[in-house]
Amino acid sequence: MGYRLSKIYTRTGDKGETGLADGRRVGKDHPRIEAIGELDTLNSQLGLLLAELAEATAQYPALNELIEVLGPCQHRLFDLGGELAMPEYQALQPGEVERLEAVIDRWNEEVGPLENFILPAGSRLIAQAHVCRSFARSAERRCQHLNAVEPLRAAGLAYINRLSDLLFVAARLIARRQGIDEVLWKAADKP
């Protein structure tokens, strides 16, 4: 494979526009660029979660499974970003959604039913999984906003939706495998 970027700066975006792979120039605040940016932010946060999981596996070897499942998600997010940058490009396969659903079902069996609202707390890993979940929801909203203007493939929209569900269950699984009680939401006392 040749070099993808021979020069990091091009100065072509200095006036608030950026180029898509199909040659179109759009504003940096275009819904397509907003969606790509949210996917990039999610991918960066997911990278942080994966790094922290890797550090924690010495103490909690059962967390390795999360790395095995979430690691490929970074690549699929990059695929989805590629589809947004090149609207004719199709990289994300519908089977990826099914893969996430199978993992969600398996992990959900292990953590059991949710009986109360939980807070994104308990450990740094749990909180980071929830940060990723929050960014996945934000990316999904941006993709849905773009979809209303320029229709997107159903597989990408389903994938980002399922990924946020997976990250929620991952946070619960991390708590279980670290032996940490989930932090339950408590309603304010009524006067």
Q: Dump pLDDT digits (tens) for 10-33.
A: 565 566 676 677 778 777 778 889
Q: In this predicted structure, what is the pLDDT of residue 13?
A: 55
H-helix or E-strand containing 49?
A: helix 31-56
* pLDDT category of residue 2 using cuts at 50, 70 and 90: very low
Asked if residue 46 has pLDDT above 70, the reply is: yes
* CB 189 within 8 Å of CB 175: no
Domain residue ranges in the chain: 26-113+124-178
Assigned CATH for 26-113+124-178:
1.20.1200.10
* pLDDT category of residue 9 using cuts at 50, 70 and 90: low
DSSP state at residue 63 = G
Q: pLDDT digit string (tens) for 131-170?
A: 999 999 999 999 999 999 999 999 999 999 999 999 999 9
Q: pLDDT digit string (tens) for 70-125?
A: 999 999 999 999 999 888 888 889 899 999 999 999 999 999 998 889 989 999 99
Q: pLDDT digit string (tens) for 168-177?
A: 999 999 999 9
Vertex 47 angle, CA 183 and 83, to 5°: 115
CA distance 168 to 59: 22
pTM: 0.89
* CB 131 within 8 Å of CB 120: yes
Q: In this predicted structure, what is the pLDDT of residue 25?
A: 79
